């Protein structure tokens, strides 16, 4: 049996996740309707769903069922969506365009945007604890903990803080790397780990290799993001382009230059792919998604 090509596979996962997100998010008519409508607006019909794709791709390593993976994928995507809603607010990046649409605070007001982000974060932990997603409940508790660590002040929120307090400051490459490991990398990494807990147990060596892959991809994702922000126009990107420079934010491109940033991304990709070799064919999707993350144009 030949596997469907990556594009076809990715499309099927994206569609599945879209349906599941539609189910786990509160119905738009449920009170308070404005909040629930805005929650759906913030999450549905947008984004490449990179994190869900990683959840499903990692799930292939452990033979996890799509019925479990889809909820783990929704949880991590809701954390991602909440972070975008709050990051876009006037007190943070003050952005008006996201995924080609008006940002939530522009469309629904600041108070609702604040609540939307709060409630989406909660919905992620609700989704991760509402049904059986792992072979044993201890593993599932660990999934909750992985997502919490990745999202909190030692993960995504912490990276956001370093970003915030670093505006206008000259960062060294290790400092920039630390910021991105937290801000973007932690959640990317957790996507892989969450998927890997939905099926058969891995041994220590396997888990450590998978984790190395996940860490490399977390960084590579951000390096490519910086490159795209520098190169692309807003229409292709679906969000305001060039804002890092405009906001005087340190980026891989500002620190390394465009050519070296590209080389850095390629190196991280190679390192990530290396870690997958012992998994053989089971890692096919992870390999493909790694290529996709580094080669994407938006």
Binding site for a second copy (CB under 8 A): 26, 30-32, 34-36, 39, 82-83, 86, 89, 91-92, 109-115, 117-119, 121-123, 125-126, 128-130, 136-138, 140-142, 144-145, 147-149, 151-155, 157-158, 160-162, 164-165, 178
Given a contact cutoff of 8 angstroms between Cβ atoms, the answer to whether 286 and 9 are in contact is no
Q: Which of 106/162 has CB closer to a second copy? A: 162
Q: Which of 14/34 has CB closer to a second copy? A: 34
Least distance in angstroms from the C-beta of 215 to a second copy: 19
Q: Which of 4/32 has CB closer to a second copy? A: 32
Least distance in angstroms from the C-beta of 182 to a second copy: 9
Least distance in angstroms from the C-beta of 251 to a second copy: 18
Q: Which of 148/232 has CB closer to a second copy? A: 148
Distance from C-alpha of 106 to C-alpha of 102, rounded to nearest angstrom = 6
Give the chain's radius of gyration (CA, Å).
Answer: 18
Least distance in angstroms from the C-beta of 171 to a second copy: 12
Q: Which of 163/226 has CB closer to a second copy? A: 163
What's the first-to-final CA gap in the chain, in angstroms?
A: 32
Least distance in angstroms from the C-beta of 216 to a second copy: 22
């Amino acid at each position: 049996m030949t596997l469907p090509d990556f594009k076809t596979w990715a499309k099927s996962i994206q569609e599945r996740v879209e349906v599941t997100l539609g189910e786990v998010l509160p119905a738009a008519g449920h009170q308070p309707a404005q909040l629930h409508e805005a929650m759906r607006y913030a999450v549905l019909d947008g984004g490449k769903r990179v994190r869900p794709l990683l959840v499903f791709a990692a799930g292939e390593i452990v033979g996890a069922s799509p019925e479990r993976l889809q909820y783990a994928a929704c949880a991590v995507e809701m954390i991602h969506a909440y972070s975008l809603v709050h990051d876009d607010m006037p007190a943070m990046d003050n952005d008006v365009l996201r995924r080609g649409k008006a940002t939530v605070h522009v469309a629904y007001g600041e108070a609702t945007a604040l609540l939307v982000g709060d409630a989406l974060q909660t919905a992620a932990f609700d989704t991760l604890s509402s049904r059986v997603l792992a072979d044993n409940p201890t593993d599932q508790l660990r999934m909750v903990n992985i997502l919490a660590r990745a999202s909190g002040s030692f993960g995504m929120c912490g990276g956001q803080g370093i970003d915030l307090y670093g505006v206008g400051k000259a960062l060294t490459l290790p400092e920039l790397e630390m910021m991105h490991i937290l801000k973007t990398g932690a959640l990317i990494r957790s996507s892989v780990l969450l998927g890997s807990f939905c099926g058969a147990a891995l041994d220590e060596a396997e888990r450590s290799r998978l984790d190395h892959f996940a860490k490399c991809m977390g960084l590579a994702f951000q390096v490519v993001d910086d490159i795209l922000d520098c190169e692309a126009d807003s229409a292709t990107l679906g969000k305001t382009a060039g804002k890092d420079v405009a906001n005087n934010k340190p980026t891989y491109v500002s620190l390394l230059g465009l050519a070296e940033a590209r080389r850095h991304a390629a190196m991280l990709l190679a390192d990530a792919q290396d870690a997958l070799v012992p998994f053989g064919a089971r890692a096919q999707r992870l390999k493909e998604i790694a290529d996709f993350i580094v080669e994407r144009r938006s």
